[in-house]
Structure formats: structure tokens, C-alpha cells
Structure 1
Amino acid sequence: MADPTKAASPKKLLIVAHAPSPNTLRLRDALAAGARELQIEGLEVQALGPFQTHPENVVAADAIILLTPENLGYMSGALKDFFDRIYYPCLERTQGLPYALCVRAGSDGGGTRRAVETIATGLRWRKMQEPLICRGEWRDGFLADCREMAMRAAAGLDAGIF
């Protein structure tokens, strides 16, 4: 039986966001704000850029949200570099990791979605929700969509759904 006097270790939600433009930076900030909005006790939210994220960060996470712009119909080179560096060190250690994807797409975002989903499938990660693809011209509504995505992820993590 668990000792009720011991605090449970905090759950960790990692946001890996390539935010090279002011608008993608706003999306990253909206994701982080959404994850913190419910003020869930015992939930740590960490937002890092792909180059600052290491296998240890991923292994320590209980769930991950990925944000990338669509570049030439594919994920950003920075997010691809992230996957290149963490793939083998995390392959056997993060199976079943819940993840969500947000794409800032100038066109349809389909190629980016497929590329990330292929890698996540190889890692044996579990999709928490359908990808959020912020398509076309910039709309401030993208920020609310990101907040909602992250709130759902945080609430699901807190409830033990993920």
C-alpha cells in the first residue's frame, strides 16, 4: 500500500517547440499557458526548443507536445534534428509516451503530420489527440486552439488517461 504521507512525484509535460518566428513563438507560449491554465498541482510544464532538448528530457517526461512550422511540406529541420538525436536513446525507454502535435502550416500541413506520425510510430509513442494544424494565413484563433490542446493534454495527464 502506498504511503499517503509521501507526495507523489510530479508529472512532467514537455513541450518541444521550434519557434523561429514571432507567430510560432506565440503558439509555443499559448501551449505553455494552456498547460498551466488549470493550475494542476503536481504538474511540471517545461517548454524547450528542439536543440535544447536531450534524450534525458524526453525520458523524464510523462507526455510531450511537439510544435513545428511546416517547411517545404515537412517538419522543421530543428525538429528533425531533435528526432535524430533522441530516437535511439529513447526507443526502448519511452514506448507508450503520450504525444500531441501542433503544426503551423502555410499550406495543408499533411506532409509534416505524416512525417512526425511516422517517427512517433517508430518510437511507439501514443497519440493523445488528433494533430492541431494551424493552416493558412495567421489567425489569432490559433492561440486559443493551442491553449485548448495543451489544457486537454494536461487534464488528461492529471486524470491518468494518458
Structure 2
Amino acid sequence: MLDANKPSHFPFFSELNARGRSRLLGATRHVRLPPYAKVIERGDEVAGVYLVEAGALRIYYVSSEGREGTLYWVDPGQSCIIALNCLFARLPYPAWVETDQADTEVAIISGDVYRELYLAEPALQHFTFATLSTRLFELMTLLQETASFDLEQRVAAFLLRRSGSGRNDT
């Protein structure tokens, strides 16, 4: 939980100046969500930044035939890049978000405050850029695998990612 007196999954928090940390804490609400809870639906306005503290969020799409496909997972210490993008570009959310099979704890920072602090806090700028860059790299790797590997190779790569550290099954 983002707390001035406790360590956090988000190292940028301790790097904020005292005013920024206080402003961020005042603009953050913590929610505990049950398994498979809908968090964001396609077309929703993104009102804040979602920081996963426990559990996970699944970002997915639904095809015209009604089939779901997972785009990626957001694990503890991570934030959803699509939500960040929608927040800064003021776009509607283009996918769906639900919690994982366990209770999920999320800190939601007000979008207005996050944008304000982003302009003033290098640590928040670094976190935002690193989040976007890391996920872009993961998505590019997945696209390359999809174009280059046969089905067995893609399944093997997926299983290797899942058996490693966390869920990197973009």
C-alpha cells in the first residue's frame, strides 16, 4: 500500500519530494477487488493511474465472434500502459480489464494529480517512461514470435515466460 511510512512496490514513491509524496497520497484511493471483477470496460474514460499492489489485472479484448484474448497482465509493482496512454491522451479505454483469480489490491491515483506531478517529478517521469518502454518491448517480442514461430514454438515460449518471474504472457 502506498504509505509514507512503509516500503512500496513502487520505488518512485520514495524518490518524490515531500510535497509530491503528500499530494500523491492525498489523491490516491485504495481498492480491494474480488476475483474476476470488472475494473474498466471498453469505451470507459480513464480517471486515474492504476498501480497494482497485490493480485493482478488482466487486460483483454473481445473479438467480433465473442472470443476473449489476453493482451497482457499487470502484476504487483506495475501499472497499465493503456490506462496511462488513455489518461495522457484523454482517449476512451480500448479494451477490458478484470482482476485475476485472487483478490486484487489496486492504488488508483487521480489522473489530474498524476499529470500535475508528472510535470514536476523526475521519478514519476522515469516510472511512466519505463512502464511504457518495458511493455512495448514485451509486445514487440510477442509480435515477432507470432510472425516467426510455429504454434509449438509459441507455446514453448509462452510456457517459459510463465514459469519465469511473474506473468509476462503478453
Which of the pair has more CA radius of gyration?
A: 2
TM-score if structure 1 supplies the norm length?
Answer: 0.28
TM-score (norm 2): 0.27
